[in-house]
Amino acid sequence: MKSANAVPVTQTDLMTYADRANGFINLVEWAPTRAPVISAEPSTGRPRFRSSIVADVAMSEKMSVMEVAKVISKDNFLVNPDMFTLLDALRSGIKLGMHVSDAYEKHSGLADLVVANAANRLSDTDKATFRAKNQTKAAIAVFVMSSYALWKLSSYKTDDVERVKAVFDGLPEMPLITVPSAMKCILFYFGRVISKAETGLDALKLAKLYFARVMSDIKLTQFEYSESFASITYKLEGEDFTVQGFESQETGAATVVEFKRVVADDIIGNHEMKRVLTRLSQFVIAYDFEREMNPFVEFEAMNWLGVLQGWAGTGKSMGLSFLQTLVFDHCKALGLPFQLCPIPNAVVQSLQGESAKVYEDWWKRMSNSRFICVAPVDDSEAVYLDRRGQSSSEGSKLVVMSHLRLTEGSTAFYKGNVLQPHATNNADMIDPPVFSRYQFRIVVPGAQTREDYCDQMRRFGDRFNQKTASNVIDLQFPPDYAFLSNQGLIAPDEKKVEAFVKFQNEGLQRLWEDVERKKLGANSYDLYGTFFAALHQKFEQFTSRDVRNITLNTASRLFGFDFPTEWLTNRDMFVAKDYDTKKKMILDAALQLQNGLTADQVLFQETMHYTESTIAMLDSGRQYRIRQQANDLLERKQAMEIAEKEWAQRQPDTKAA
């Protein structure tokens, strides 16, 4: 459910629970049956937090999270900023959890059972339902509290907290009977865990691990009467936080898998790849978190799913890292929540049915509407292997089927917050329907010219000298070429605005010449209708989806203006605007962009480029196999020549005889 249709939760609503939240933080009493233990991190000597079962403890114990915070702050009266942030997140989480759990009581019919129980009018069946719904209510309160606290803490001192080495293996116990007892238990053990922290950063790291584990344990539990909770979305006033059933809301800021940073100058050649990925990195930050939609999607200009294809070593993986770096940097500068969500390495499982589950779980994480996400798929031919081949396993087939349904199935919906680039050496090995869904298709040739290789070598020399603080690599750069001047987003031979000249593929060129003989106007729909019909006759795999992809790429190009610097650095200048304002700003900027090209020229160039790239990719496997066979023949011929020469040397000298 979209947050625009969510039930609002106001600060006034939460004030009702302020005293109870304060009470839980100040003091709880619990009779623990198991307790966490502490060991040392072997490599650093820092605290390493683990839990294990110990003997039953019959007596109740008291715990004050507030007092623990003062001890960590080393102040008997005030807490330091780190602990204040933690307590504030926890207090707000408790209030929100209690509010949402009370709403569940009303919507689920539990309120009527509470009244009947007080009057001793419950049947045995009603008593079972009463207990089950109370358990669900308790789980909701604890889950929402943990979810909000984790979300809030994840935007605070992210880098510093991530550097803290701490491990929390799990909760000793989590009885879900009533909301008060569940809160007491969770906060009792929370106080115990953070009481061993030496600094505020230690406590923050442990809090994040603790609340994440609480959420994980609850999500593993089946609740019989959770429908009325899962069917309603709650939106917290003044914050980008929503509650949508037992779904993770782990982070409110950057959650990043470690990746190699790559900037444009690191990539030699591959101008089109850099140009398209740079454009997409700007498009995606226009996503509106309140409306949960991107204006570029509405303009049908968001080509979010595509493929980079080239030989090994040409720079495809660098392209993926380049996109990740761009989007991460934009989000960091603008305070937007970012996640990098690469496809799991072991997505194809040996157990039947597990592959689809792993893939769909990844897709669900990737599609979280609270993040801007880059979800790269490297070596995509291994993930989406052609189902017609004998090497395609049952797991691989299920992954392909899930992908097809999730991309363009009847229930598929794209909001504009995700970019999913694929990379492959062998496009012809990819399942044809998967390949047909690639909206952009970029051939990645790598370095090609003398200038490219000079730039690549000097990049190496400069890096080496910088790292060694020396001038070990002391080579002269050619005087007739400026270093990196050919490595921009536009190749030197593309800088002139020219009409289409000719296809590189001979078959496409002959087909185009046939169309040209019909003397159709360059600004007529008939030109494209005739050309596409001829393409379909010659290449059956060319379909209406390809035409949609061409029009999508054309729109993307027409909207492909360079975002003003202030849009990418100042949150208030663009991303903080409301959806309709952003949409108007984008449209105004796009209408000023043409760079000398008319719309029909852009359409023409995108048609040429798309068809050329598609044929090149689909033909790449055949060309590779031909090259391999040719190499084999050359090796055999060379071996035969060597053998004949050596054989002649071994023969007796007949003339001497």
DSSP summary character for residue 284: G
292: its two tokens? 């949960």
74: its two tokens? 């080393």
Question: Quick one: which of 106, 107, 98 has its CA closest to 227?
Answer: 107
Q: Tell me what percent of the chain is helix, strand and coil, each rounded to the nearest 5.
A: 55, 10, 35
A 10 A CB-CB count for 478 gives: 11
Kindly report the length of the chain.
657
Percent of the chain with pLDDT over 90: 47
Q: Is the dihedral of CA 426, 432, 436, 439 positive or negative?
A: negative
Q: Identity (one letter) of the amino acid at 261? A: R
The domain boundary residue, chosen from 244, 274, 293: 244
The structure's pTM equals 0.62
pLDDT above 70 (res 83):
yes
pLDDT above 70 (res 46):
no
Q: What is the pLDDT of residue 288?
A: 93
CB 372 within 8 A of CB 417: yes
Task: Tell me the per-residue pLDDT of 255-268, one tens digit each, with 9 for 90 and over.
Answer: 445 678 999 999 99
**Which whole number is the average pLDDT over 553-575?**
92
- Residue 239: CB partners within 8 Å, gap ≥ 6? none
Q: What is the pLDDT of residue 48?
A: 39
Question: Quick one: which of 231, 409, 259, 286 has its CA closest to 342?
Answer: 259
Rounded Cα distance, 320 and 276, in Å: 12
Looking at the structure, do residues 208 and 279 belong to the same domain, yes or no? no
Q: Is 136 exposed, middle or buried (0-12, 13-18, 19+ CB in 10 A)?
A: buried
Give phi and psi for 49, each to the nearest 5: -100, 120
The domain boundary residue, chosen from 197, 212, 244: 244
Looking at the structure, do residues 427 and 376 belong to the same domain, yes or no? yes
| 305 DSSP β-pair partners | 420
Lowest-confidence pick of 342-346, 499-503, 509-513: 499-503
Structural domain span for residue 138: 3-244
**Which whole number is the average pLDDT over 548-570?**
92
Q: Where are the alpha helices (DSSP H) in 61-109?
A: 65-73, 81-108
Looking at the structure, do residues 154 and 295 belong to the same domain, yes or no? no
Give phi and psi for 45, each to the nearest 5: 80, 5
Q: What is the pLDDT of residue 271?
A: 93
Q: Residue 236 falls within a domain, yes or no?
A: yes
Query: What CATH number does residue 439 fall under?
Result: 3.40.50.300
Looking at the structure, do residues 233 and 315 belong to the same domain, yes or no? no
Q: What is the pLDDT of residue 240?
A: 77
Rounded Cα distance, 201 and 186, in Å: 21
Could you give the number of structural domains in the chain? Answer: 2
Rounded Cα distance, 425 and 310, in Å: 5
Task: Tell me the per-residue pLDDT of 306-352, one tens digit each, with 9 for 90 and over.
Answer: 999 998 899 999 999 999 999 999 998 888 888 888 988 777 766 66
pLDDT above 70 (res 397):
yes
The domain boundary residue, chosen from 443, 459, 479: 443
Task: Tell me the per-residue pLDDT of 185-208, one tens digit each, with 9 for 90 and over.
Answer: 999 999 999 998 889 999 999 999
Looking at the structure, do residues 307 and 398 belong to the same domain, yes or no? yes
Residue identified by tokens 């238990």 is 185
Q: What is the pLDDT of residue 317?
A: 93
Q: What is the pLDDT of residue 66?
A: 93
Q: Residue 301 falls within a domain, yes or no?
A: yes
75: its two tokens? 């102040």
Rounded Cα distance, 231 and 295, in Å: 27
Instruction: Place 396 in a pLDDT band, splitting at 50, 70 and 90.
Output: confident
Rounded Cα distance, 55 and 174, in Å: 17
Q: Residue 28 falls within a domain, yes or no?
A: yes
Q: Which contiguous run of DSSP H or E holds residue 330?
A: helix 316-334
Looking at the structure, do residues 168 and 296 belong to the same domain, yes or no? no
In the chain, the N- to C-terminal Cα span, in Å, equals 98
Mean pLDDT, all residues of the chain:
85
Looking at the structure, do residues 33 and 171 belong to the same domain, yes or no? yes
Q: Residue 549 falls within a domain, yes or no?
A: no
Looking at the structure, do residues 204 and 327 belong to the same domain, yes or no? no
Q: What is the pLDDT of residue 45?
A: 41
Looking at the structure, do residues 277 and 402 belong to the same domain, yes or no? yes
**Which whole number is the average pLDDT over 642-647?**
90
